[in-house]
Amino acid sequence: MTTLRPVLGAVDHVGFLARDLKDAVADYSRIFGIEIVRTINRPQFSLIGHYLGETASVEIFSFTDEELLQERLAGADLVFDHVAHVVEDIDLVASELSARGVRFCGPNRREELRDPIDLGGVRHLWTVPETSWGRMIQLIEH
């Protein structure tokens, strides 16, 4: 058996996709007692959302594109969408994962990507779920 070098760092956050963003955030805040610490709006991906908790470890988001939202929710009102890991060198990690058959996309999964996306000085990639254990994994390089 070949031993592979671990490529993922610490978990940065977990992401939940919600049909009704306002209600989902209100419910999560009420149940777990944590508040919004940061809001995101990424119109290039039809994405809006909020990070909750002191360390912004929970992301609850939605899509403004109704067709995309329906497709991703597949009839549900709320789904676990992704886990985000911090990596030291996103290019190296992407290269290693690509060699293992992993492909990458943006957060809306509309097109495959080869290079990380820079959002406010932080670089991101998301895995195509079918190539990464059936789940979307977000890579973040600060």
Above 70 in pLDDT, residue 51? yes
Class assignment of domain 11-141? alpha beta
- Position 5 confidence tier, pLDDT thresholds 50, 70, 90: confident
Backbone angles phi, psi at 9, to 5 degrees: -95, -160
Please determine, for residue 63, whether its predicted confidence score (pLDDT) is greater than 80: yes
Predicted TM-score (pTM) above 0.85: yes
pLDDT band at residue 2, thresholds of 50, 70 and 90?
low
Predicted confidence (pLDDT) at residue 30 exceeds the cutoff of 80: yes
* Position 141 pLDDT exceeds 80: yes
